[in-house]
Amino acid sequence: MYALVDGNNFYVSCERAFRPSLVGRPVVVLSNNDGCAIARSNEAKALGIAMGAPWFKIQHLAESSELVALSANFALYGDLSDRMMSLAAGLGPKQEIYSIDESFIDLTGVRGNLVERSFKIRSRILQWVGIPCCIGIGPTKTLAKLANHVAKTAERKPGIYPEQLAQICDFGSLSPDAFELVLAATPVQEVWGIGRRIAEQLNAGGVMTALDLIRIDAATIRAKFSVVVERTVRELQGTACMDLDDAPAPKKEIACTRSFGHPVTALSDLNEAVTHFASRAAEKLRKQGSTAQQLMCFIRTSPFRQDAQYSRSVCMPLRRPTADTATLVTAALSGLKGIYRPGFNYAKAGVMLMDLQADTVHQRELAFDEQEEIRDRSPLMATLDGLNQRFGRGTVLMASAGLAGERRAWVMKQERRTPAYTTCWDDMAIAKA
């Protein structure tokens, strides 16, 4: 048996934990650059705000419906996530942290009443961290995920599922008939692994609900779709095809990409931005103990503007695997120089590190070129990371990143950000008697 513990409207709940006045109000959290809604409170969902709705299209609701919009505050969300995860881990012996707000728990060997135990964990997370969550339980990960969907929907929209399934839903405790009713009330697109495209094709073939899907035999699905969809169907039918992954593998690629706060035209501005992205990507790379053998750099205009369009990327093979910021920034800037064309309004740029390998692997080289000195700068990088961790991101950076004091067009817009209450001394909330 698996459980899925999932924070409700997670980013919004994090904001509410420190601003209780937001409880009961329609709230959205905006993406970087205050672009579009990436989290919505139940009240905001009730206003009809879609996931990913552009802010400028829903902004009028701030006046008419007292909608509150906040800039994403990932420092806060990450920290509250850690706290929630450590409490969720108490549900069973093994945990897989699947995303910032979700974790699977392996319930093997857990005795007693799973539903009661889940309610206890849920109320502990609510009391200690301030995040409401729902828990789904099922014999496979896909079923646990579906049970979680049922638990959340039963709480938010009465009438679709039995109300006793709200907050905690254990498929294991449902009769076969009750289970079928639940599946029949679930659109096929709500199943984990069935996205918009596959759902369209299924719907066209008359497969509308999870119950319809579960009744198709796996071989037919395999023939019509793929082994991926087949796995989803088998999981729905109760055959576990996915194990709990409690030790995630290192990333195979690491990216840092951003949209700009304002259109950028000058190469000098792009140089600063790309320096930042390459530096940040390099930092992530070192954190996971990897080196990169290839770097990709891209720039693009906005596809949403009636403007001359330009989009190009370039791959830069590296002389040898590296996690050195200076080397990576140099490669990124030289790539950028090659693809930059003047006269465009650039909206976004990014750096991706690829062909990663463990930094414990060292390829010996013959010294063909006596002039070339291979210097190990990893102690310097460790110092750099240490300073930036202790005194804050950007304390020490490459000169080509530019000076932070100046107003820079490419810096992303974050006009409604709340304080980093739990990760910055200056932002700490003060309790008044």
Partner DNA sequence: TCTGGGGTCCTAGGACCC
Closest contact distance (angstroms) between CB of 291 and DNA is 15
Block residue for tokens 């053998």: 293
Q: Measured from the CB of residue 225, what is the shortest distance to DNA in angstroms?
A: 9
- The minimum distance between CB 360 and DNA, in angstroms, equals 19
Tokens representing 387 are 């300073």
| Closer to DNA by Cβ: residue 192 or 344 | 192
Residue 91 CA to residue 85 CA, distance in Å, equals 10
CB 12, CB 68: distance < 8 Å = no
Minimum separation from the CB atom of position 10 to DNA (A) = 8
Which residues, other chains included, contact 222 with Cβ-Cβ below 8 Å and sequence gap of 6+? 229, 230
Q: Which is nearer to DNA, 255 or 420 (CB)?
A: 255
Q: Under a CB-based contact definition with an 8 Å cutoff, are residues 185 and 170 in contact?
A: no
Residue 200 CB, nearest approach to DNA (Å): 8
Whichever of 102 and 106 has its CB closer to DNA, that residue is: 102
Write down the least CB distance from residue 298 to DNA, Å: 11
- Is the separation of the CB atoms in 303 and 344 below 8 Å? no
Q: Please say which residue, 117 or 258, places its beta carbon nearer to DNA.
A: 258
Q: With CA atoms as reference, report the closest residue to 29 among 134, 129, 122, 100.
A: 100
Which residues of the chain form contacts with DNA (CB under 7 A)?
Answer: 31-33, 35-36, 38, 52, 54-56, 98-102, 145, 191-199, 226-228, 249, 251-259, 263, 284, 302, 304-305, 347-348, 350, 352, 412
Q: Which is nearer to DNA, 93 or 394 (CB)?
A: 394
d(CA 150, CA 339) in angstroms, rounded, equals 49
Identity of the residue numbered 350:
G
As measured in angstroms, the least distance from the Cβ of 263 to DNA is 6
Token pair in block for residue 127 = 């009391």
Q: Cα–Cα–Cα angle for 403, 408, 414, nearest 5°?
A: 115
Q: 117 or 272: whose CB is closer to DNA?
A: 272
Amino acid at site 307 = D
Question: 111 vs 197, which CB is nearer to DNA?
Answer: 197
Nearer to DNA, 53 or 117 (CB): 53
Question: Are 139 and 104 in contact, with CB atoms under 8 Å apart?
Answer: no
Q: 9 and 395 in contact (C-beta within 8 Å)?
A: no
Q: What are the percentages of helix, strand and coil residues in the chain, rounded to 5? A: 40, 20, 35
The token pair that represents 181 in the structure block? 């009713």
Least separation in angstroms between residue 397's CB and DNA is: 17
Q: Which is nearer to DNA, 219 or 374 (CB)?
A: 219
As measured in angstroms, the least distance from the Cβ of 362 to DNA is: 20
CB of 370 to DNA, least distance (A): 31
d(CA 24, CA 41) in angstroms, rounded, equals 9
**How many C-beta atoms surround the C-beta of residue 306 within 10 A?**
6
For DNA, which is the closer residue by CB, 31 or 42? 31
Q: How many CB atoms lie within 10 A of CB 10?
A: 22
E strand or H helix that includes residue 321: strand 311-322
Q: What whole-number distance in Å separates Cα of residue 165 and Cα of residue 137?
A: 11
